[in-house]
Structure 1
Amino acid sequence: MIPPTSEVVALFDLTAIILLLTTVIVFVIPIFILFPPIPVERSDALRQTHTKVGIPASQSNLRTQTSPEHDYQPGKPAKIQSLYIYPVKSCRGIEVGHSKVLPKGLEFDRLFAFARQKSKAASAPEPSGEDGTGTKKHPQWEVITLRQVPLLANIKIDLWLPDVSKTSRQLGRVDGRFIVIRFPWRDSGLKGIIQWISAKLSRGLSGTPEKEFMLSIDFPSPDEIKAAGYQYEDTSFFAKSVYALNMKNEVPPELGLYLGVAVPVTVFMVDPDQRREVFRNAPRKADAGYQPVIDFQDAYPLHLLNLTSVRALESKVQKDDNLQFLDARRFRPNIIVSGLKEYDEDDWRSIEFSQPPQSATAKLSGSKFDVSCRTVRCKLPNVDPVTGIRHKVEPDNSLRKYRNIDEGAPKSGCMGMQLCPIFPKTDDPEDLELSLEVGMEIKVLQRGHHLAL
Structure 2
Amino acid sequence: MDGSTVPQRGPAVDSSSAFILLITIFAFFLPILLYFPPIRSLWIYPLKSCRGIKVHQSKVLPTGLEFDRLYTFAQLKSPFPVSLQSPSPEKEAHAWHFITQRQFPLLATVSVDLFTPDPAKTRGSVGDSSAPAPAPYLLVRFPWRERGVRGALGWAGAKLARGWRARPEREFVLPVAFPSPDEIAARGYAREEVAVWRDAVPALNMRADLPPELALYLGVSNTLGLFRVDPACLRAVRRCAPSRAEAGYQPVTGFQDAYPLHLLNLTSVRDFDAKIEKDEELRELDPRRFRANIIVDGDENPYDEETWKKVRFNPGPSNKRDASTFHVSCRTVRCKLPNVNQETGFRHPVQPDKALRKFREVDEGAKHMGCLGMQVTPLFPTEDLESWVEVGMGHDDGAYARHM
Q: Find the aligned partners of 1:193 and 1:361 in 2 and give their Cα distance.
A: 52
Among 160, 172, 175, the residue aligned to 1:216: 175
- Residue aligning to 1:441: 394
- Residue aligning to 2:153: 194
Q: Find the aligned partners of 1:161 and 1:244 in 2 and give their Cα distance.
A: 24
- Residue aligning to 2:60: 101
Unaligned residue ranges in structure 2 (runs of 5+): 1-29, 126-130
8 Å contact kept, 1:139–1:236:
no
Does residue 303 of the first structure (1) align with residue 262 of the second (2)? yes
Q: Find the aligned partners of 1:155 and 1:122 in 2 and give their Cα distance.
A: 32
* CA drift at 1:205: 2.2
The C-alpha deviation readout for 1:245-270, integer Å capped at 9, x for no partner, is: 00010001100000011122121011
- Residue 241 and residue 385 in structure 1: after superposition, are their counterparts in 2 closer, same or farther (change >3 A)? same
- Residue 207 and residue 123 in structure 1: after superposition, are their counterparts in 2 closer, same or farther (change >3 A)? farther
* CA drift at 1:410: 1.2
* CA drift at 1:200: 1.7
Q: Find the aligned partners of 1:310 and 1:411 in 2 and give their Cα distance.
A: 20
Tell me the SS of whatever aligns to 1:397: helix
Q: Find the aligned partners of 1:137 and 1:235 in 2 and give their Cα distance.
A: 17
- One-letter code aligned to 2:190: Q
What does residue range 397-436 of structure 1 map to in structure 2 within 5 Å?
Answer: 397-426=354-383, 431-436=384-389
What does residue range 360-375 of structure 1 map to in structure 2 within 5 Å?
Answer: 360-361=318-319, 364-375=321-332
* CA drift at 1:165: 2.9
- One-letter code aligned to 2:318: A
Q: Find the aligned partners of 2:79 and 2:241 in 1 and give their Cα distance.
A: 36
Does residue 378 of the first structure (1) align with residue 335 of the second (2)? yes
Does residue 154 of the first structure (1) align with residue 109 of the second (2)? yes
Does residue 263 of the first structure (1) align with residue 218 of the second (2)? no
Does residue 353 of the first structure (1) align with residue 313 of the second (2)? yes
What does residue range 10-29 of structure 1 map to in structure 2 within 5 Å?
Answer: none
- Residue aligning to 2:10: none
8 Å contact kept, 2:45–2:68:
yes
Give runs of ≥4 in structure 1 deviating > 6 Å: 134-137
* CA drift at 1:174: 5.9
Tell me the SS of whatever aligns to 1:142: strand
What does residue range 198-277 of structure 1 map to in structure 2 within 5 Å?
Answer: 198-277=157-236
TM-score by length of 1: 0.76
* CA drift at 1:139: 5.2
- Residue 122 and residue 247 in structure 1: after superposition, are their counterparts in 2 closer, same or farther (change >3 A)? farther
- One-letter code aligned to 1:392: P
- Residue 245 and residue 322 in structure 1: after superposition, are their counterparts in 2 closer, same or farther (change >3 A)? same
Q: What root-mean-square deviation, in Å, do the aligned CA atoms of Structure 1 and Structure 2 show? A: 2.4
The C-alpha deviation readout for 1:274-309, integer Å capped at 9, x for no partner, is: 111111111121332201111110000000000010
- Residue aligning to 1:343: 303
Does residue 325 of the first structure (1) align with residue 284 of the second (2)? yes
Tell me the SS of whatever aligns to 2:31: coil
* CA drift at 1:411: 1.2
* CA drift at 1:202: 1.9
- Higher alpha-carbon deviation: 206-215 or 111-120: 111-120
8 Å contact kept, 1:349–1:372:
yes
Tell me the SS of whatever aligns to 1:74: helix
* CA drift at 1:343: 0.8
- One-letter code aligned to 2:298: G
Q: Find the aligned partners of 1:437 and 1:409 in 2 and give their Cα distance.
A: 32
- One-letter code aligned to 1:371: V
Q: Find the aligned partners of 1:168 and 1:202 in 2 and give their Cα distance.
A: 29
- One-letter code aligned to 2:306: D
Among 114, 117, 127, the residue aligned to 2:73: 114
The C-alpha deviation readout for 1:95-123, integer Å capped at 9, x for no partner, is: 00000000000000000001112136579
TM-score by length of 2: 0.85
Q: Find the aligned partners of 2:82 and 2:206 in 1 and give their Cα distance.
A: 19
The C-alpha deviation readout for 1:311-332, integer Å capped at 9, x for no partner, is: 0000100110110100000000
8 Å contact kept, 1:256–1:262:
yes
Instruction: Name the count of aligned residue pairs.
Output: 363
- Residue aligning to 1:167: 122
Among 338, 342, 347, the residue aligned to 1:390: 347
The C-alpha deviation readout for 1:396-419, integer Å capped at 9, x for no partner, is: 111111111111111111100011
Q: Find the aligned partners of 1:419 and 1:273 in 2 and give their Cα distance.
A: 22
8 Å contact kept, 1:122–1:138:
no
Tell me the SS of whatever aligns to 2:46: coil
Q: Find the aligned partners of 1:434 and 1:137 in 2 and give their Cα distance.
A: 47
Among 229, 236, 241, the residue aligned to 1:282: 241
Does residue 181 of the first structure (1) align with residue 140 of the second (2)? yes
8 Å contact kept, 1:123–1:138:
no
Tell me the SS of whatever aligns to 1:446: helix
Unaligned residue ranges in structure 1 (runs of 5+): 1-72
Q: Find the aligned partners of 2:90 and 2:385 in 1 and give their Cα distance.
A: 40
Question: Matched residues, percent identical?
Answer: 52
- Residue aligning to 1:143: 98
- Residue 283 and residue 139 in structure 1: after superposition, are their counterparts in 2 closer, same or farther (change >3 A)? farther
- Residue 368 and residue 120 in structure 1: after superposition, are their counterparts in 2 closer, same or farther (change >3 A)? closer
- Residue aligning to 2:24: none
Q: Find the aligned partners of 2:91 and 2:248 in 1 and give their Cα distance.
A: 35
- Residue 118 and residue 135 in structure 1: after superposition, are their counterparts in 2 closer, same or farther (change >3 A)? closer
The C-alpha deviation readout for 1:30-67, integer Å capped at 9, x for no partner, is: xxxxxxxxxxxxxxxxxxxxxxxxxxxxxxxxxxxxxx
